[in-house]
Amino acid sequence: MDNRIFGVETEFGCLVSDPDLGRPEDIVEEIKNHLFFDRRIGAIDYHARDDVFEPAQSGGFLMNGSRLYVDAVGSHLEYATAECRSLRDLVANDRAGQRLITSAIKDLGLSDVVSVYNNSIDHFGGHTFGCHENFLVRAEGELLNGNLHFLIPFLVTRQIYAGVGRVGGHNLYAGDAPTDEQLAENPIDYIWVSHVYNVEPDPTVDFQLSQRSDHILKAVASRVRFNRALINPKWETMYTRNGMTRLHLLFGESNQNQYAYALKVGTTALAIRTCEDGLIDNDVLLAHPVSVLRDISRDSTYKWEAVNVYGAVTNALEVQHRYLEAAELYRGESEQTDWILDQWGYILDALKNDPMKLGDKLDWVAKKLICEQYMKETGVSWQDDSLQSVDLEYHNIDPQLSLFHGLETTQLVSETEIMVAQLDAPGDTRAKGRGKLVEYVLGKKGTPIYAFDWSSAQIDRSRIVYMEDPLDTYETPCDQWGNQVFNNENL
């Protein structure tokens, strides 16, 4: 477990209440530019990482090892955490990104008219935002060469503790090719897209576990714009290391609760290992996983039933217990692994007994309790539009405005740790060395020449630092990088 890397990418929604300020797309550019050019907490990309999706100055790497940028598909802010080995580091680094965005809004004097959310759904527009997880996996092992389908039942059922909750639902129905107007307004959104799906509200749903389950169309898919899947295989160098590569999970949501966030990532890391090690049997496989995903999310009875490939009835708790039992093989290897196993078992037992007692740990429970209290006080029903606003404000990333931050919840890291993580990278991955190099180029006079990526950094015209091993800190670049030695004073 401790020799694995994980990271999370979060797409943020932006709401602008004063139309005179411009479009949300303009505001997120202001936020990004303020952090890079005024606050100088990162090195802006002067090169195009991708001529279409990430042109020059779309974003860059920060001193804390993370990456902040404006994604050209939808023109939204996105924050990718640094590579992490510790769940505590991951939570702190993730929340540090939220605090940086919030502070930029305040610096710009926009707090009264601009809000940024880490929710995963636009109730009225029908759009959905991603919270994608990345895990270091064996490139040549059994997972990517035959066992990937064994991970799907876990992903489908983990929403019983990882879901963030959602008021209402959406129905998808077949659409046509993008119209000329759609293509003209946002051409980048429709690259490689031949058809789009249509979205309409589903008035039969009061509340469900997941914000994204209604929008998942496939279990596995490579191109996922209007074709969203649970898993999006990627063969890139982002997490390449001696036969290891990156597994990119699309089906995830932006947990506000630190405990749920850490439990989601931790259990998934262990579930991946059970699949790699061939510990999961065929009878765990579900007959129609994408349909089950939606059914479990919408099951207000909390029976969470499903049918396996042999026609037998099972449920989400039983499926999760199968992965937990398999993962017990790893008990004792580290405190972190034991914490995951202990909390995994605790949560499954608590969900079986009374889910609604978990409001301090699980987002979907906390959100439902808030909504029920609001309905009791106002007399409105689940179908009232005001509930959509309650849902949204739960995900406001500003602690002074968020409904979540008004709750008593289980915290894993302190505000002090989050503050430190705004500038300091995790100390046990290559993010530490990259963060130091970012600080180094920011300290050079004039306009420095550099180009950063996850696994390399060009810091002047002739010197490239290769950081291919994500488990190495690369604190002091040495002879292995083209015989170019930098002393600590330069760093």
- CA neighbours closer than 13 Å in the CB half-sphere of residue 426: 26
- The per-residue pLDDT for 124 is 72
Cα–Cα dist 468/487, whole Å: 21
Mutual orientation of helices 316-327 and 335-353 as an angle, nearest 10°?
Answer: 160
Task: Compute how many other C-beta atoms are within 10 angstroms of the C-beta atom of residue 485.
Answer: 11
Say what the pLDDT of residue 188 is.
62
E strands, 170-309, where? 170-173, 198-201, 207-208, 218-220, 229-231, 244-249, 305-307
User: In tens digits, what is the pLDDT along the chain, a chain of 491 residues?
Assistant: 457 899 999 999 999 999 888 899 999 999 999 999 999 999 999 988 876 678 899 999 999 999 999 987 768 899 999 999 999 999 999 999 999 999 999 999 999 999 999 998 887 776 777 899 999 988 776 777 778 899 999 999 999 999 999 999 988 777 777 777 776 776 766 665 555 667 888 999 999 999 999 888 777 765 545 557 777 766 554 445 567 888 889 888 999 999 999 999 999 999 999 999 999 999 999 999 999 999 999 999 999 999 999 999 999 999 999 999 999 999 999 999 999 999 999 999 999 999 999 999 999 999 999 999 999 999 999 999 999 999 999 999 999 999 999 999 999 999 999 999 999 999 999 999 999 999 989 988 877 889 999 999 998 888 888 898 899 999 876 333 433 434 434 43
CB contact set of 223 (below 8 Å; sequence gap of 6+):
192
Q: The tokens of 162 are what?
A: 């990882």
- Can you tell me the distance from the alpha carbon of 468 to that of 316, in angstroms, rounded to the nearest whole number? 38
- The first and second tokens of residue 443, run together, are 């300290």
The residues with which 69 forms a beta bridge, in sequence order, are 59, 78
Listing DSSP states for 276-306 in one string gives HTT---GGG-BSSHHHHHHHHHH-TTS--EE
Give the per-residue pLDDT at 336: 96
Distances (CA, A) of 265 to 50, 262, 364, 395, 421: 28, 5, 17, 19, 19
What does the alpha-carbon distance between residue 422 and residue 448 come to, in Å, rounded to a whole number? 23
CA 434-82-458 angle, to 5 degrees, is: 25
What single DSSP character describes residue 82? P
